[in-house]
């Protein structure tokens, strides 16, 4: 959980946490983020992969809690919005229109 209880270093607005030790040699880790709004903060996380040999850091994903002073769990992206299915009425109308078009063509050929 990322919130006010974490070891924020004064003006530094991130902290590192993971289960595999320090960053030397590379790491697949999370960074806790804190965005300052005066007396209020938004908390977030960034999932990064650090490659020591290449001296690169790749951002895999991130999230920021939109409600101020509210904790967020690292790796939690919330509930994704459902993709709406095509409406049943639209599909029925499309089918009826196709049947009417076919009947009209059949009548023209007769």
* Residue 12 tokens, joined: 């530094």
**What is residue 83's predicted lDDT score, i.e. its pLDDT?**
65
> Using CA atoms, how far apart are residues 82 and 54, in angstroms rounded to an integer?
39
- Positions of the chain with pLDDT lower than 50, given as ranges: none
User: 3-state DSSP helix/strand/coil percent for the chain, to nearest 5?
Assistant: 20, 35, 45
Distance CA 67, CA 52 (A): 35
CA atoms of 7 and 24, how far apart (whole Å) = 21
Q: What's the predicted TM-score (pTM) here?
A: 0.60
End-to-end CA distance of the chain: 73
């Amino acid at each position: 959980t990322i919130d006010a209880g974490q070891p924020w270093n004064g003006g530094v607005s991130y902290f590192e946490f993971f289960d595999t030790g320090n960053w030397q040699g590379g790491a697949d880790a999370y960074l806790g983020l804190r965005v300052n709004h005066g007396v209020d903060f938004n908390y977030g996380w960034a999932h990064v992969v650090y490659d020591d040999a290449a001296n690169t850091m790749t951002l895999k994903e991130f999230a920021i809690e939109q409600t101020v002073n509210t904790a967020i769990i690292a790796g939690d992206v919330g509930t994704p919005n459902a993709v709406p299915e095509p409406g049943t009425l639209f599909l029925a109308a499309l089918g009826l229109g196709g049947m009417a078009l076919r009947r009209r063509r059949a009548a023209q050929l007769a």
